[in-house]
Structure 1
Amino acid sequence: MEVDGGGLAAAAIPAIDMGGFPGELRRLKEACHLWGCFRVVNHEVPRELMAQMKAVVRELLDMPQEIKRRNTDVIAGSGYVAPSPANPLYEALGLYDVGSPEAVAAFCNQLDATPPQREVIGKYAKAIDELIMGILEKLAESLGLSRDLFSHWPCQFRINKYNFTPETVGSSGVQIHTDSGFLTILQDDETVGGLEVMDRSSGEFIPVDPWPGTFLVNLGDVAAAWSNGRWCNVKHRVQCKQTVVRVSIATFLLGPKEEAVEAPPELVDAEHPCLYVPFTYEDYRKLRISTKQQAGEALALLRADSS
């Protein structure tokens, strides 16, 4: 598919052409190591479907509170998130395991979705699941590994709304954090900026300007551990830049449901000793919550060389 060109700030984030492999493997590897994030362009998710899904997201998030609160958790934090003292401008709806048609139907039932809304949600869930699997194949290939390493890892779908007002310009929409899982693919607001990622070399936050028709991919804590430190978990935040409602659609590949997260044997040798003890995603998620360390600091507690 064709995409519009991004601005200067957008260009700072590497853009990976999904139609350009295997020639893009080196750039993909560098992006994961240096940035922990990248844009994907020329993917196969129809732009019309992206626009339809964004319209459905706005409709669902504009529903009354009593309906949104039916969106209950499967795992902690996977359902409706109301504005809180920590993030007063933010609310979200969630769907655990976007690759399951049954889970998608249950999500639609909770929110009394109309038949047209259900059709769009179902098509988008299938398309985004296929896109994630395609990205994972390329990530594995960039490390010289088998492509079939992530089967049956659940994906959590989250639609986000930021209620920016004149009084909140300059404040934080979502505080600095890393994502706890392996990978996040984000369809950002096509007109409203505010997302910023940290440049590891300088420690400064770089604006990620809207780039319609593309997706932003962020690597999380699980990816940093699984890759044995070859990839970084990108710190990011959302800032209120203007008085307008901002919406986004994020899908999180979390980690294996039951097996431990650990580096493949091919990534461990004398020059690259194993950096982290094996851990389950659920145990790590609970560790982040209990320690209130949301920006990757909790990962240091699982270092193999920690005392």
Structure 2
Amino acid sequence: MGRKIGHGLGLKEVPFENWPCQFRINKYPFTPENIGSDGLRTHTDNGFLTVVQDDEQFGGLEVMQKSGNFVPVEPSPGTLLVNFGDIATVWSNGRFYNVKHKVVCKQEGIRISIATFLLGPKETIVEAPPELVTSENPRLYVPFMFEDFRKTRFFKHLNAGEALDHFLLKP
């Protein structure tokens, strides 16, 4: 999938070969007291790409539009949801948008989702490929190591895309 994304941007070489993935099963035991509350607070994913099989019966996933309004993502049986994370925003030099999202408790019961995350490179720098940096679209972020980015997010509690501000190039 990463190769096709890169090729769609006109890149011949795509660096995703050795980027680690993470698999996670999320279980939300919602009680009647939880209805209407956040089961997972607003955040962006810290990696490049996330593929989710959402709970087809419970729903509750909501994504934030650029306007700041949340809209529900209605579950559709047999489908997968794909969204970009923080690393995709940096790597694409702002062409891809890291999606803020949350999970809201809609009903009592056990909500389960399954996610696979394409993270970021372990031993190479995260930066936009030279082909995506032009005079019309100058580099937006300083190059950094993925682990340094993860630590910034974690230790500064910046889980909704704000960690990217620490890596912005100043004009």
Distance in 2 between residues matched to 1:209 and 1:179, nearest whole Å: 20
Distance in 2 between residues matched to 1:136 and 1:146, nearest whole Å: 12
Matching residue within 29, 33, 51 for 1:167: 33
Q: Which has the higher helix share?
A: 1
TM-score by length of 2: 0.97
SS of structure 1 residue aligned to 2:97: coil
Matched, 1:150 2:16: yes
Matched AA of 2:118: L
CA deviation digits over 1:40-79, x for unaligned, max 9?
xxxxxxxxxxxxxxxxxxxxxxxxxxxxxxxxxxxxxxxx
After TM superposition, give the deviation of residue 137 of structure 1 in Å.
2.3
How does 1:1-307 map onto structure 2 within 5 Å?
A: 135-146=1-12, 148-200=14-66, 202-305=67-170
Distance in 1 between residues matched to 2:95 and 2:65, nearest whole Å: 16
Matched AA of 1:255: G
- Aligned position for 1:107: none
After TM superposition, give the deviation of residue 146 of structure 1 in Å.
2.2
Distance in 2 between residues matched to 1:223 and 1:146, nearest whole Å: 17
Matched AA of 2:141: Y
- Structure 1 gap segments, 5+ residues each: 1-134
After TM superposition, give the deviation of residue 149 of structure 1 in Å.
2.3
Q: What's the Cα RMSD here? A: 1.1
Distance in 2 between residues matched to 1:155 and 1:281, nearest whole Å: 13
Q: Is the 8 A contact 1:138 1:147 kept in 2?
A: no
TM-score by length of 1: 0.55
Distance in 2 between residues matched to 1:199 and 1:222, nearest whole Å: 19
Matched AA of 2:112: V
After TM superposition, give the deviation of residue 147 of structure 1 in Å.
5.6
Distance in 2 between residues matched to 1:292 and 1:245, nearest whole Å: 27
SS of structure 2 residue aligned to 1:151: helix
Matched AA of 1:268: V
**Aligned length in residues:** 171
CA deviation digits over 1:88-128, x for unaligned, max 9?
xxxxxxxxxxxxxxxxxxxxxxxxxxxxxxxxxxxxxxxxx
Structure 1 outlier segments of 4+, above 3 Å: none
Percentage of matched positions with identical amino acids = 61
CA deviation digits over 1:150-203, x for unaligned, max 9?
101100111100010111100110000000010110011121110000111x21
Larger radius of gyration: 1
After TM superposition, give the deviation of residue 139 of structure 1 in Å.
1.1
The one of the two structures with greater contact order (alpha-carbon pairs below 8 A, sep at least 6) is 2
Q: Which has the higher strand share?
A: 2
After TM superposition, give the deviation of residue 138 of structure 1 in Å.
2.2
Distance in 2 between residues matched to 1:172 and 1:284, nearest whole Å: 26
